[in-house]
């Protein structure tokens, strides 16, 4: 019984402290596939951001295949005010390689303050290959 109460208390604490994306300011995010993109290319696309709060110190970036539920990784970069994250910057990224069709890929950018707390969030979805957009 004590263990159940402790687990419930831990759950409540985590839930109460979790970031609620709906409450976060929105970052405008855009990206495009490089013309030289190859299957599972490990060079991330150029990502453009706007509206990142001044309190941000890092940008955490993640790409997901929404149609096949595949996590393509991403990475974290220091935020120094630049509107562009250059192509190839993300170190834990794996590019698209659909076996059929034109799935939707979503890049999520989360701005983190110096303590690692999210201060803004943005997303952009594009199809790959790009001709299908």
Domain architecture of the chain: domains with CATH: 20-132 (3.90.280.10)
Average pLDDT of the segment spanning 71-84: 96
- Token duo for residue 66: 């929404």
This prediction's pTM = 0.81
pLDDT at 15 over 50: no
> For strand 104-112 and strand 58-65, is the pairing parallel, antiparallel, or unpaired?
antiparallel
The pLDDT, as a whole number, for residue 103 is 93
pLDDT averaged over the chain?
86
Band (9; pLDDT cuts 50, 70, 90): very low
User: Is residue 3 pLDDT above 60, yes or no?
Assistant: no
Residues of the chain with pLDDT > 70: what percent?
81
**Three-class DSSP category at 80:** coil
Please check whether residue 24 is in contact with residue 121, taking contact to mean a CB–CB distance below 8 angstroms.
yes
Give Rg (Cα) of the chain. Answer: 17
Confidence at 76, pLDDT banded by 50, 70, 90? very high
pLDDT, one tens digit per residue, over 25-35 is: 999 999 998 88
Residue 133 burial (CB count, 10 A): 12
Residue 5, H or E segment: helix 2-17
Beta bridge partners, 36, equal: none
């Amino acid at each position: 019984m004590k263990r159940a109460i402790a687990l419930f208390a831990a759950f409540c604490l985590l839930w109460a402290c979790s970031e609620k994306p709906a409450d976060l300011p929105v970052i405008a995010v855009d990206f495009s596939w490089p013309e030289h993109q190859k299957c599972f290319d490990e060079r991330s696309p150029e990502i453009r951001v706007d509206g990142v709060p001044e309190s941000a110190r890092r940008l955490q970036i993640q790409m997901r295949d929404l149609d096949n539920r595949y996590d393509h990784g991403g990475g974290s970069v220091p935020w120094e005010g630049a509107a562009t994250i250059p192509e190839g910057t993300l170190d834990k990224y794996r590019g698209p390689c659909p076996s059929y069709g034109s799935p939707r890929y979503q890049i999520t950018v989360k701005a983190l303050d110096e303590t690692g707390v999210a201060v803004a969030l943005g997303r952009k979805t594009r199809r790959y290959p790009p001709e299908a957009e």
